[in-house]
Chain A
């Protein structure tokens, strides 16, 4: 029931249009019966805001069709605006970044490594097949037997050439025998020139009487050359050996070099070196952090521990 004590709420509800038709009539009758409240009543009625007619200007833009995406017209980014001092914003922490690899990434990496390693081994094994045979201890460290064999194989042609030379010397001295003029040869030079068959010619040419001696010496040198060089000391002392034997020796060592140096052990060493380097890298870097951070450093990667 509306009274002078509660009329304000009724007035407000009336203004808000929250009263039923009968209540509205009650209020209107109450105002009529209390003219002193009419001013307040009128003032409240004036506090209603009359709806104005506003027309929204962009209605067409709001109309949409099905399957149509909302157009990006409200906020269009102005890409020409850039922050001028980006350098001042960059930050770098001293700690290395921890990369959390999901398990499948590690698995993929492992597979790749295995394939790469397998491929490498496969290729290296294939390459090795050709020079495998001579890689024996005999080739590396030639014994008396092998040296002998090699020397026995070679002397034949050398002896031939030496014999040829001695024949030439004989022939020449025979020609020179006819020539009357003689040349004085210093006897002191003789011993030094003994080992050189070329010089023998000169000696022989100088003194026809020594022709036989020259021939004898030449034959002697050939004998020396054909003699197998059994003791290793004799092989090494080049001064004592003849020209031919030196040539032989050089030849044999050259052969040894051919077999000895370019063989598989080098390859083996290369692989071993790689493994050693890898393991060293791991030993150097694989270390658990001291400060109880649950991560392990392997190579240049850090792994978190669970």
Chain B
């Protein structure tokens, strides 16, 4: 991977990695740190990384760093989720997009990552498996469970209204 290929990577994928991480962490500063350290690692390992695989390499690094970060701040994260849950039950959200985001935030980080990698980046099961370290059938099963969970949240909310 040359200097130019690396810089192209920044131009083309920095936003993608950033939104993927930001959707998971929901904190801009943390997401920014994770993206920066992912690109740092890509720059340091550019000799070993092929240009064609640079995007999935970048997502792989970023995903694992994000998981590490989430483990560190797990307690804080849980408390935030409780608060949001309370808020949702108090004031139902009618906007579909917002409801979906609420539903997404209720998934665990693996499921959420799978959905985001699928819908945002359009990765295949196999590619998602490479990034997350899961095998293809695991990705399929986890992703399907996540969809059903999202759907049931939406349906339940509609029934409530």
A residues contacting B by CB (< 8 A) are 9, 12, 15-18, 40, 43-44, 46-59, 61-66, 70, 74
**Chain B residues near A63 (CB-CB < 8 A):** 7, 10
B121 CB to closest chain A CB (Å) equals 8
Indicate whether A54 sits within 8 Å of B15 (C-beta atoms), given known contacts A16-B118, A18-B124, A49-B116.
yes
How many contacts between A and B, using CB within 8 angstroms? 89
Interface residues on B, range: 35 or more
Residues in A with CB closer than 8 Å to B96 are 46
User: Are A65 and B3 in contact, with the CB atoms below 8 A?
Assistant: yes
B154 touches A51 (CB 8 A): no
Question: Knowing A16-B118, A49-B104, A49-B115 touch, does A64 contact B22 (C-beta < 8 A)?
Answer: no
Q: Are B15 and A70 in contact (CB under 8 A)?
A: no
Q: Is the interface of A mostly helix, strand, loop or mixed?
A: loop
SS class, residues of chain B in contact with chain A: helix
Contacts of A43 in B (CB 8 A): 151, 154-155
Asked if B32 lies at the interface with its beta carbon under 8 angstroms from chain A, I say yes
How far apart sit A52 and B35, CA to CA, in the bound complex (Å)?
17
Which residues of chain B in 1-41 are interfacial with respect to chain A, using CB atoms and an 8 Å cutoff? 3, 6-7, 10-11, 14-15, 17-19, 22, 32-33, 35-37, 39-40
Q: Is B35's CB under 8 angstroms from A49's CB?
A: no
Q: With A and B bound together, what is the CA distance between A64 and B39 in angstroms?
A: 10
- Determine the chain B residues whose CB is within 8 A of the CB of A18 once the complex forms: 124-125, 140
Q: Determine the distance from Cα of A182 to Cα of B17 in the docked complex, in whole angstroms.
A: 141
Verify B3–A70 contact, CB threshold 8 A: no
Interface residues of B in 134-161 (CB under 8 A from A): 140, 143-144, 147-148, 150-151, 154-155
Given A40-B151, A49-B120, A56-B35: 12 more A-B contacts, CB < 8 Å: A16-B118, A16-B143, A18-B140, A47-B100, A47-B147, A49-B100, A50-B119, A52-B19, A56-B14, A56-B17, A63-B10, A74-B37
